[in-house]
């Protein structure tokens, strides 16, 4: 086994590891980002129900929306 073959093998290995890392990171962001969006949406639905019942004012709902990042 010569040095060039060893070098090429090392480069290929580290590229494969980098691609795997990026793929896992992307999937984790997709899953956890979805959870965050769902929580925000559920929070907004609850706020809108409370607004409809007259429990909170429009100003309070706007403050809550800003806090939720929606």
Domain boundaries, the chain: 3-68
Going residue by residue through the chain, which has 70 residues, state the pLDDT in tens, using 9 for 90 and above: 788 899 999 999 999 999 999 999 998 888 777 777 777 778 788 888 888 999 889 998 888 888 877 5
Residue 40 CB neighbour total at 10 angstroms: 15
Q: Which of 44, 36, 38 is nearest to 61 (CA)?
A: 44
pLDDT at 70: 59
Contact 9, 37 (CB under 8 A): no
pLDDT at 66: 85
pLDDT at 9: 93
Contact 61, 51 (CB under 8 A): yes
């Amino acid at each position: 086994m010569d040095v060039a073959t060893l070098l090429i093998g090392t480069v290929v290995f580290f590229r494969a590891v980098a691609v795997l890392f990026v793929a896992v990171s992307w999937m984790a962001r997709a899953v956890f980002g979805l959870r965050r969006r769902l929580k925000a949406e559920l929070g907004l639905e609850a706020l809108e129900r409370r607004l409809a019942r007259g429990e909170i004012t429009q100003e309070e709902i706007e403050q809550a929306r800003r806090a939720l990042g929606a």
